[in-house]
Structure 1
């Protein structure tokens, strides 16, 4: 692959992602101006709360921007780069050498969403104008390093600079949430950092570490490890702990959207066998499906929004998982079914007045086929924004076209960035806002809606919907 020359410069077109037709582009530009500077609401993500609580300087460009971003490292891996050279999974890589590898292969990212986010970060956050390349790698690395050493680039300063109003983290049910306590008790910090209850390894017998997680839960609550009723009570108490620390949602990343209602005695019998590792795959699915209904019941009681994102074969490469752990770039989409799978849950709780169920997936076909029709009937069901491989401009356009004719504009959750890459949050929300403006501009140009109505809709999509759906 040929290297890029140092004469090239990054240039972010102010009309990027807008339609090519001049009239439609003018409309998109006008609509985008309505929301370009609105506060960022990030109700689902993975930035550690400790970053904000401790407000320590970031170590270096690689550990901040490269090693934890599996969108970036996965494509480098596909081109033959060893993940160990990039510091993935805590491996001991030289950060400067890792950065050089990344910059020398910058051309791999042409056309990807990752390139757009990174260009935004380089240009808008660090005032980097050079295109990454083998020749510019050290220049960019040093410039970013110098910036990270200044107070203006500490986490809290960036939080304020990015106009983030609310940022949700993802947390283990047994987390003491001390970082959240320290943040909320600090009068000098004006933003909101909200914990999110993530119980996957406590309710899915096939999740890695299930037995150990349940044993820790039982030990903390002073119950026998196979006491099903005590187990349910303990989960309810942990949720109450999260609510007391400001949580607004409980997140569930499961293999599929299957739900079922079991008799309490049958559920207890499965649970006793589950903690001993004695369930068949079919029985594990039954227990997991039952626990999703239990989680919905608890959400009705305590008000936590229930978010569900099935449809991923996690850790597809067993060798990579062994060497680098989870979230190392090889979680792959699979087809998922919602209509029949969710019916038992919705039969029980779908008409509850204050129950919110947000459905996410990376199976694009499910949006028009099942999710939009479900959200178009059940008052509790909301259409989750595309995530992972779908939070890209063309995918957002396909998503919006897939759901609007069935469910309109009102049944969505608003955009989520779902990211560990803190500095890319503004870039991702910028992409989403531009993409929504482009879609609405086409509707205006085609005479489907008025410009005045489009102005109202785009503000709803960016601001009102996430506030209402996630109870912010």
Structure 2
């Protein structure tokens, strides 16, 4: 039976001199509080503080990072208990799901998911043997027993993980009742929301017209006019700010922006709310709305995040049976220099705007993103995201961005996850990789170690609080 061990020097350089520097830098930041400025944890967990379900439904069934790999090797999603759109039955026996997962755990070798899960198993649940078919029941029983105790309820884990603040992400159609319940509960944990207006900004959403109607009702505005539609955004943004929001988030197909004359955008809005519109018209409307969101951010102080470049639900049969966010989202090529120019022409020189850019196309790091962020006072670069939230992805990001954009035009780390228990593991990986990168600069006499200490603190804690106004 193989031991589960987390080596204290994991992810540090192999060279002894550089490794020693990385150790010293890491020691100064490893215990800093976690600031999680953007993610997808469920605010209901912290509002109700109910026990988490069984191990399978906590760690496997909702985590597309995990089950997409198993699916790629022929394991049916039904067998992993992934819910269907029409409610047709899937496997409900948590132990059976866990055993199937354990039999295929080797598929995650070398992936970030393996690293995060091993951390959870060892650090959160105290397991000291590797997960395998032979240890599946031992794992299940240990985790299941722990989840039945008060020490493993959401609020207790939040405090144990030393989370200072965590941001969830909600649609403008969300009443934010869970956030209200958290504020009124007397608990001191800080859970804030973020404004994600995609459902009412994307004319290609099948429910767009109905969403805009509901949006107007919730905001108390007449959204039959463009002016009323903009007031509805201002109203809902204010409601979100009252629930702690300091940021907006936009998951667009591209970074395209527009800045149309008022008459043209009013005519376009009349078309999109009547529907249907062409793909080009939908893209034009989304692009115009990004520029409008930038203007509103200057007015109300909310930080913008742009997550473009994903072909979502690429597998139509999985989408039809299991719905969105089931591991079939695929990165696409990105372009920012031309796409962002209308927005930057209008607002890019205004230091009151903070627009944080993310990409899944690493080719644009050094060619476009670093030069842009190294010039415009409104731009900051988000950390490696999604498929690149990995040790090698983090290393490539620092290597390609730092020389042109520097450290201080980035915003620290952002875990962007639904997997609550993996949040400390993800932040630990980021801290180790940043310290490893800084250690190389010190070892090569490119940065004094006392300055590297300051940068390590900034990348771990200072920059994220500053960028997200937390």
TM-score normalized by the length of structure 1: 0.97
Is the 8 Å Cα contact of residues 89 and 328 (structure 1) preserved in structure 2?
A: no
Pairing 1:108–2:107 present: yes
Is the 8 Å Cα contact of residues 155 and 189 (structure 2) preserved in structure 1?
A: no
2:131 matched residue in structure 1? 132
1:243-258 aligned at under 5 Å gives the runs: 243-258=241-256
Is the 8 Å Cα contact of residues 220 and 232 (structure 2) preserved in structure 1?
A: no
Q: Give the whole-Å Cα distance in 1 for the aligned partners of 2:394 and 2:218.
A: 43
1:79 matched residue in structure 2? 73
Q: Give the whole-Å Cα distance in 2 for the aligned partners of 1:330 and 1:208.
A: 19
The alpha-carbon deviation at position 223 of structure 1 amounts to 4.8
Is the 8 Å Cα contact of residues 223 and 232 (structure 2) preserved in structure 1?
A: no
The alpha-carbon deviation at position 20 of structure 1 amounts to 0.3
2:56 matched residue in structure 1? 62
Is the 8 Å Cα contact of residues 201 and 208 (structure 1) preserved in structure 2?
A: no
Pairing 1:198–2:192 present: no
TM-score normalized by the length of structure 2: 0.97
1:27 matched residue in structure 2? 21
Correspondence for 2:392 among 379, 391, 394: 394
Q: Give the whole-Å Cα distance in 2 for the aligned partners of 1:383 and 1:465.
A: 11
RMSD between aligned residues: 1.1
1:423 matched residue in structure 2? 421
The alpha-carbon deviation at position 172 of structure 1 amounts to 1.1
1:191-230 aligned at under 5 Å gives the runs: 191-224=189-222, 226-230=224-228
The alpha-carbon deviation at position 222 of structure 1 amounts to 4.8
The alpha-carbon deviation at position 186 of structure 1 amounts to 2.8
Q: Deviations over 1:33-80 (max 9, x none)?
A: 110000000000000111001000001111111111111010000000
- What 5-or-longer segments of structure 2 have no aligned partner? none
Is the 8 Å Cα contact of residues 43 and 191 (structure 2) preserved in structure 1?
A: yes
- What 5-or-longer segments of structure 1 have no aligned partner? 1-6
1:92-107 aligned at under 5 Å gives the runs: 92-93=90-91, 94-107=93-106
Q: Deviations over 1:381-427 (max 9, x none)?
A: 00100111111001100000010000111110110000000000000
Q: Deviations over 1:356-379 (max 9, x none)?
A: 100011111111111111110111
1:4 matched residue in structure 2? none
Comparing 133-142 and 418-427, the one that deviates more: 133-142
1:160 matched residue in structure 2? 159
Q: Give the whole-Å Cα distance in 2 for the aligned partners of 1:191 and 1:365.
A: 39
Pairing 1:269–2:263 present: no
Q: Give the whole-Å Cα distance in 2 for the aligned partners of 1:219 and 1:39.
A: 40
Secondary structure (helix, strand or coil) at the match of 1:382 reads: strand
Q: Give the whole-Å Cα distance in 1 for the aligned partners of 2:424 and 2:206.
A: 33
Secondary structure (helix, strand or coil) at the match of 1:89 reads: coil
The alpha-carbon deviation at position 354 of structure 1 amounts to 1.6
Q: Give the whole-Å Cα distance in 1 for the aligned partners of 2:297 and 2:219.
A: 21
Is the 8 Å Cα contact of residues 39 and 418 (structure 2) preserved in structure 1?
A: yes
1:178-327 aligned at under 5 Å gives the runs: 178-187=177-186, 189-224=187-222, 226-327=224-325
Is the 8 Å Cα contact of residues 83 and 90 (structure 2) preserved in structure 1?
A: no
Q: Give the whole-Å Cα distance in 2 for the aligned partners of 1:183 and 1:224.
A: 31
Q: Give the whole-Å Cα distance in 1 for the aligned partners of 2:354 and 2:408.
A: 14
Q: Give the whole-Å Cα distance in 2 for the aligned partners of 1:447 and 1:220.
A: 58
Correspondence for 1:462 among 450, 453, 460: 460
2:172 matched residue in structure 1? 173
Q: Give the whole-Å Cα distance in 2 for the aligned partners of 1:446 and 1:222.
A: 60
Q: Deviations over 1:79-111 (max 9, x none)?
A: 001111112235632221111111001110110
1:348-363 aligned at under 5 Å gives the runs: 348-363=346-361
The alpha-carbon deviation at position 207 of structure 1 amounts to 2.6
Q: Give the whole-Å Cα distance in 1 for the aligned partners of 2:250 and 2:128.
A: 40
Pairing 1:42–2:41 present: no
Q: Give the whole-Å Cα distance in 2 for the aligned partners of 1:324 and 1:312.
A: 19
Q: Give the whole-Å Cα distance in 1 for the aligned partners of 2:144 and 2:395.
A: 36
Q: Give the whole-Å Cα distance in 2 for the aligned partners of 1:76 and 1:434.
A: 28
Q: Give the whole-Å Cα distance in 1 for the aligned partners of 2:157 and 2:219.
A: 39
Secondary structure (helix, strand or coil) at the match of 1:159 reads: helix
Is the 8 Å Cα contact of residues 250 and 306 (structure 2) preserved in structure 1?
A: yes
Correspondence for 1:12 among 2, 6, 9: 6
Q: Deviations over 1:205-237 (max 9, x none)?
A: 113421221121123345555322211111110
1:142 matched residue in structure 2? 141
The alpha-carbon deviation at position 276 of structure 1 amounts to 2.6
2:117 matched residue in structure 1? 118
Aligned length: 465
